[in-house]
Amino acid sequence: MDWKGAFSSLIGQGPPPSFPRSFLFGVATADHQCESYRLDRLDVRDLWESDCGLVMRGRATDFEKRYPEDIALAKSLGCKAFRFSIAWSRVEPAPGKFDDAAFDHYQKLIRAIRSAGMEPILTLHHFTWPLHVQQCGGMISDDFPIVYSRYVREVAARLGRDVRYWITFNEPNQLIFGYLKPWWMSNYAAPPGLLPDAGWDEQIDAVSKLIRNLFVAHAGAYRIIKAANPEAFVGANPLLLGLPVWLQRLINWNAERTTADDLQKQGRRFSEHSPLARGKADIVIANLTKTAERERLVMFSEVYFVTEQRLLGKASGPAVQPSDLSGKAVVAVKGSTAERNAPTLLPESRLTVAGDYPLALLDLDQDRAEALLSDGIIENGIMRRYPGRYRFIGQPLTGGTQKYAVAVSQGNVELLNAVNEAIREFSATGKWQMSFSRNLSPLGLTAPNMPPGAKHPMSFFTSNLQTAGDAGRGRERAVSLARKGTGLRRIQDRGYLIAVAKSDVPGLSFQDQDTGEFAGLEIDLARAISERIFSDPGRVRFVPAKTAERIPQLLSPLSFLDSLMKTYSILSTIVASNWWHLGMAGKLPAFLCPAECRHLQDFVGLDYYWGISALRLDRIQALIDAGLGRFDLAPVYAGALFGHLRYLSEMFPNLPLLIAENGSVDEADNLNRAAYLRAHISQVRRAVGKGTNMLGYTCWAITSNREWGLEFGKSNDFGLYHIELDSDPGLKRMKTEAATEYRKIIESMKSER
């Protein structure tokens, strides 16, 4: 952390600058992340999370019932602003049909905020919209600005008199990731997602429509809100990437000169790439759990098998429940998710690591470890191989769900599509169940607690979703030769598929020591993939690998070249530009931001979380990953916030700036949340000292929230007040060190005025 940069303006320059008396310190939250799931009021995120197998919000923080408590907590911190969002799907459950009870809830919420001496900051669209809007084409439909205006007009009519600050679209620049998929990612990062075989041209066409629609919809909303309340302040809050300002200026300069043809070229560069580096294998289908860490290295297919993590001990061992292992050694295999999860699942135990399963079992047998932590399906195979020698300790561990998927190297989009088609057919035609019955039922297993998915996310959006009947036609398409230079074409030209498999997991992937033959559900699926590619299930060669050896089989010493291509793909396209602010400033081409949509804002909103200094350009990839949800791996540099505040102040000299979101997870880049807040607010203060017109600073978030389908934990908890979302039925709000620090900062600023 650059502490010198953070406080340089305070050294040797007399008393530090004070915030203006009108400055709004606040906190924030969002409807989908804090309001309970309702089956009769689903939004697109609910369906997306369900179809993608992500974590559903459930009760979330139960904010719709607990909002008086959260407002009181914000008031106790000294806040003068409370940001929230309207659940569009709840106030307009059907086209043009508005729910009085839902609006009554938000009227009470607004009154409670104002009664606590705070200004409500109302967000109209916080990454969600109703299913009926998506069913009519969603945000890229020609009618979207009209549909959005209908919604805004009703909100403004009912709530406009009591709300001064309005945000039309939360992080509009992030919405493009529902239509544009980077070549190194398996799936779209957000809803709605296009069809799996949507090419770069279809993706960039959708993005062009989206950007234009957002500007047109914002312009309509701006005029509606101002008509309802002429004193209203209206804006939006794009997410800033946190690059050095000189680099951001260069990227913005490129965006200002973008033509429709340029955008097509950029889209192809962003969504299509043939890998420069090749590993020894084509696919890994070897009990490999899909995780965010691994997705930094490879692309994953749809899930084909689900299991739970469990504890295995000697049959004669004393441990009966996980609680019996407090202070005891638990072994996990190197490179497994069990190794990563052990500190969370078993915080009171001592973790030891073994190179492979035979060594882990040796640790058990020789009493160097009391239990083995691994996937239940693997441990079941161990018990079948050594009858009477081992037994489970307790039940499956809460939070230990393991979702197996096939891995391919990044950029192998055509191969990944073929793998997904094979998985869908494997499930839809009953082959998955037949394989399970043949390979796993004899081991005493019943079907797993979650069947393999066989549908495209947001299935209401896709009119030609594959079914069992479609699968045959899909195979006919797949066996045609892929484009030259692609990973799939190289496999087809070679004439066989190389698959990394495990050799020691009965039922899933097991190699007979006498015949050398492989058998199991994963082996059957690998042959189905071969059939998809070659119309011949026999064209697959299996390479056995230990747990830690699986992913390296897809990589090569030249993989850094693809990493460089990732960075170039982003920085050379409009994706990395500050296109929303450029549009508002009248600097974006008219085909993206029409002239009548420019300059329609009363404040300059922004969200800022992570950044890098000019001396650490090597961390650009980590910064990009953080923007897509890898928060705990994010680089922290508060100095970039100061640079961007000054840059935006220069771009909009007559408008105040509002930091609509800034905050941190429990720890990022070796900095805890309290230190993070001190560093970043000091940069805001520094900007004020340089003459920047600041409206306010809103900390994300008042409490722990459901972060968009992620498994809850320290890596995605931004709460000033912590809630044990998964284990506390009472959802108790617990004050953190960061809340104490935030209150001190606010009090100190008041005392200086």
Per-residue pLDDT tens for 257-266?
999 998 888 8
Contacts with 118 (C-beta within 8 Å, 6 or more apart), sequence order: 26, 71, 74, 75, 79, 80, 81, 82
**Residue type for position 525:** L
Which carries the bigger pLDDT value, residue 273 or residue 160? 160
The Cα–Cα gap between 78 and 291 comes to: 39
Does 1 score more than 70 pLDDT?
Answer: no
Name the pTM for this structure.
0.87
**Residue 736 to residues 344, 393, 421, 665, 730, Cα–Cα distance (Å):** 19, 35, 47, 12, 18
Element at 540 (helix H, strand E): strand 540-544
The full DSSP string for 543-566 is EE--GGGTGGGG--TTHHHHHHHH
| Sequence-ordered alpha helix ranges (H) in 44-99 | 44-51, 63-76, 88-91
How would you label 319-353 residue by residue, b for 16+ Cβ within 10 Å and e otherwise?
Answer: beebebbeebbbbbbbbbbbbebbeebbeebebeb
* C-alpha angle 237-578-652 in degrees, rounded to nearest 5: 70
* C-alpha angle 517-523-528 in degrees, rounded to nearest 5: 125
Q: What is the pLDDT of residue 273?
A: 74
Does 601 score more than 70 pLDDT?
Answer: yes
The Cα–Cα gap between 194 and 203 comes to: 8
Tokens, residue 95: 């086209």
| Sequence-ordered alpha helix ranges (H) in 592-653 | 620-627, 639-651
Tokens, residue 86: 């309207």
Residue with tokens 């996990």: 332
CB 64 within 8 A of CB 18: no
Which of the four CATH numbers 3.30.465.10, 3.40.50.800, 1.10.8.50, 3.40.190.10 does domain 278-556 have? 3.40.190.10
CB 435 within 8 A of CB 448: no
The three-state secondary structure class of 696 is strand
Which carries the bigger pLDDT value, residue 628 or residue 377? 377
The Cα–Cα gap between 208 and 187 comes to: 20
CB 732 within 8 A of CB 714: no
What is the residue extent of each domain of the chain?
3-270+560-752, 278-556
The Cα–Cα gap between 269 and 573 comes to: 8
For 593-664, list the strands marked E by DSSP: 604-607, 657-662
Mean pLDDT of 120-124: 98
Contacts with 412 (C-beta within 8 Å, 6 or more apart), sequence order: 275, 299, 486, 487, 488
Count of beta carbons in the 10 Å neighbourhood of residue 579: 27
Q: What is the pLDDT of residue 445?
A: 77
Count of beta carbons in the 10 Å neighbourhood of residue 126: 23
Query: Which strand ranges, in their side-by-side order, compose the sheet holding 509-511?
Result: 504-505, 509-511, 518-519
The Cα–Cα gap between 340 and 335 comes to: 8
Q: What is the pLDDT of residue 452?
A: 47
Say whether the peptide bond before residue 701 is cis (omega within 30 degrees of 0): yes
Mean pLDDT of 439-465: 55
The Cα–Cα gap between 307 and 666 comes to: 29
Which carries the bigger pLDDT value, residue 301 or residue 711? 301
Q: What is the pLDDT of residue 540?
A: 97
How would you label 401-412 residue by residue, b for 16+ Cβ within 10 Å and e otherwise?
Answer: bbbbbbbbbbbb
The Cα–Cα gap between 30 and 123 comes to: 8
Per-residue pLDDT tens for 340-364?
889 888 999 999 999 989 999 999 9
Contacts with 145 (C-beta within 8 Å, 6 or more apart), sequence order: 213, 216, 217, 220
Does 542 score more than 80 pLDDT?
Answer: yes
Contacts with 728 (C-beta within 8 Å, 6 or more apart), sequence order: none
Q: What is the pLDDT of residue 554?
A: 92
Please state, rounded to an integer, the average pLDDT across all residues of the chain: 90
- Banded model confidence at residue 448, pLDDT cuts 50, 70, 90: low
| Sequence-ordered alpha helix ranges (H) in 162-318 | 200-228, 245-256, 260-271
Residue with tokens 């700036």: 657
Does 202 score more than 80 pLDDT?
Answer: yes
Q: Tell whether domain 3-270+560-752 is in CATH 3.20.20.80.
A: yes
Tokens, residue 535: 């119309």
| Sequence-ordered alpha helix ranges (H) in 556-708 | 559-571, 579-584, 620-627, 639-651, 673-689
Does 565 score more than 90 pLDDT?
Answer: no
For the chain, give the percent of residues with pLDDT over 90: 71
- Banded model confidence at residue 618, pLDDT cuts 50, 70, 90: confident
CB 239 within 8 A of CB 607: yes
Measured in whole angstroms, how far is the alpha carbon of residue 113 from the centre of its chain?
Answer: 30
Tokens, residue 270: 């962003």
Phi, psi of 332 (to 5 degrees): -135, 155
